[in-house]
Amino acid sequence: HQLHSHEDQEAQSPDLSTPVVQLRIPWRGAQSISRQPMAMAPPPPSLLRLCLALLALSSCSLSLATDQRDADRVASLPGQPESPAVSQFSGYVTVNERHGRALFYWFFEAQAMPEEKPLLLWLNGGPGCSSIGYGAASELGPLRVVRQGAALEFNRYAWNKEANLLFLESPVGVGFSYTNTSSDLDTLNDDFVAEDAYSFLVNWLERFPEYKDREFYIAGESYAGHYVPQLAELVYERSKDKKGKAYINLKGFIERGKPRVPSPRSLLQAVERLVEPADHLWASRIHKPHRLTAVDRLSQGAVKKHILHIQLVTGHERDRASERTVGNPITNDYYDSKGLAEYAWSHAVVSDDVYARIKKYCDFNISNWSDDCNAAMDIVYSQYQEIDIYNIYAPKCLLNQSSASYANRAFFVNDKEQFRRRIRMFSGYDPCYASYSEDYFNKQEVQNAFHANARGLHPAKWHVCSDSILNSYNFSVFSVLPIYSKLIKAGLRVWLYSGDADGRVPVIGSRYCVEALRLPIKTQWQPWYLDKQVAGRFVEYYGMSMVTIRGAGHLVPLNKPDEGLTLINAFLRGEQLPTHR
């Protein structure tokens, strides 16, 4: 056959060898026919050029990704201990080129055999609080900031013993994450945050392609109780095509938290009376003018629309008041308020008389509490002014921060020796950790080594939590219960854990919320152990587990680091917590 024109053959380069083809044709009387070598058709020149172009483009993209990855590697940070070695990366990943929007990350490879360990994304909430300032530098990262931000120390209970650990500052406007389109900051809501986080993951995996098929988990605390399941749903829906470019091998998620939506009247009274029952960083950043501004913003008919979106500013990360939404807003308010009141009474924070008044006057099924109920609940909040509501047995931070980080100035103590004595009483726990993160990450040399401050400010002002994000966030999702049901049915691993010394999001309320899911019980409530001691208790449902950590407050990896590491180890391996001494 003449398969190509003479001109096509002349254009061929290079010349291709042609094989001899032996044909046996099965018809009557047919014999084996030996044919002359048959010329095989080379691809047209246009196709060759296209293939070469695609190959060059692919190689170029891979080279750019490798270059960017190498540029993100952090050799060492100021004040970092010389040993052990820490393999870490940090930098920006663009999530919207048109708007100039980029999110900042800090990534630690697993301490041993990173090629065999899963990938774990950690998110803090707020909305507006940094996963680097809290999760990485204060809780579960391998490098913790020491007092006054003077240096870093190695955390021997870091979760990158069990996983490759990725921290993301989200949403845009938090920490070092930025946008060149200011209107982005006015449109932030849960959907916006989930889409950006998903875009970040897809683009980050292009930069780190070795993790594309790795088992992937999401973890978080506080308002990340919204972020985590919504991001998990997005990843699940867009990864159904396992051969797709954006496939992510999602296996499950684990969270610290429980929902809370405050009643409108209790919120307004708390704002007007300047009730500040906790002195952690976020709560203490919000002063009366900010609160009045929030109330003004809700005025002129907007109260009914927005009041349930605002959380009582009663602690540590503003979102500490709303870790997870399970059920409708009123149901959540019921569980949270009921649990908070019961916990305060059962842990001797309030008197029998106050609790009796709460039971008599408070119907937590309705959002508009009576005056008598509000008066009783105000007493509960006020009793937490002199202790840390997020860890009722821990000392409170008494440092006088210039950044107005800590409230309740009346309780400030100048005696540094007295402060040090109180710190030692709690086995080394330091309640002022968040302030130390601000001291450290605002140093110019740290930002330079960290690949932060992309816009060239000298230095960029970095905050653990952003007031502007708090004030502008559009709360639009009141329940993630349908997401839980959907992802549990899809077979994802879901754990909820709670420190039993947390007064603001108490384990009592968490148990009420889990009960509302109406999941069948697989393993009854029982203790789990560490070093021959009871470390907490857990119950396994079909599709979900709930775990308590004995003696831990809201920040389990900080308060009980060994227990926290045991917890994440069991979760990632799909194992049961130790049930024998």
pLDDT, residue 32, reads 44
Q: Among candidates 496, 503, 515, which has minimal Cα distance to 221? A: 496
Of the listed 222, 337, 435, 545, which one is catalytic? 222
Both structure tokens of 254: 């684990």
Catalytic (active site) residue 13: no
Q: Is the peptide bond before 171 cis (omega within 30 degrees of 0)?
A: yes
Of the listed 196, 280, 502, 545, which one is catalytic? 502
The answer to whether the CB of 278 falls within 8 A of the CB of 390 is yes
Catalytic (active site) residue 458: no
pLDDT, residue 549, reads 97
Q: How far apart are CA 484 and CA 486, in angstroms?
A: 5
Cα distances (angstroms) measured from residue 247 to each of 196, 235, 254: 16, 8, 21
Question: pLDDT tens digit string along 290-309?
Answer: 332 333 333 333 333 333 33
Pairing mode, strands 250-256 and 216-221: parallel
The answer to whether the CB of 385 falls within 8 A of the CB of 391 is no
Half-sphere exposure of 113 (CA within 13 A, CB side): 4
Q: Which amino acid is at 397?
A: C
Sign for the CA dihedral angle at 406, 410, 412, 414 comes to positive
**Which residues touch 448 (CB under 8 Å, ≥6 apart)?**
none
Alpha helices in 274-328 (DSSP H): 281-285, 288-297, 303-306
pLDDT, residue 58, reads 52
pLDDT, residue 554, reads 87
Q: Among candidates 8, 223, 262, which has minimal Cα distance to 125? A: 223
Whole-number percent of the chain with pLDDT over 70: 69
Of the listed 226, 280, 451, 554, which one is catalytic? 554
Buried b / exposed e over 284-309, threshold 16 CB at 10 Å, is: bbbeeeebeebbeebeeeebeeebbb
pLDDT, residue 206, reads 96
pLDDT, residue 514, reads 85
With vertex at residue 461, the alpha carbon angle to CA 459 and CA 463, rounded to the nearest 5 degrees, is 145
Alpha helices in 493-575 (DSSP H): 507-516, 556-559, 561-573
pLDDT, residue 336, reads 73
Question: pLDDT tens digit string along 356-389?
Answer: 999 999 988 776 789 999 999 999 989 988 888 8
Q: Which amino acid is at 307?
A: I
Q: Among candidates 161, 3, 145, 148, which has minimal Cα distance to 81? A: 145
Whole-model pTM: value is 0.74
Given a cut of 70, the residues of the chain with pLDDT beneath it are 1-46, 48-64, 257-333, 367, 399-430, 457-459, 478-479
pLDDT, residue 262, reads 36
Q: How far apart are CA 391 and CA 320, in angstroms?
A: 12
pLDDT, residue 459, reads 67
The answer to whether the CB of 345 falls within 8 A of the CB of 352 is yes
Catalytic (active site) residue 222: yes
The answer to whether the CB of 105 falls within 8 A of the CB of 166 is yes
Pairing mode, strands 533-541 and 544-549: antiparallel
The enclosing H or E element of 11 equals helix 6-11
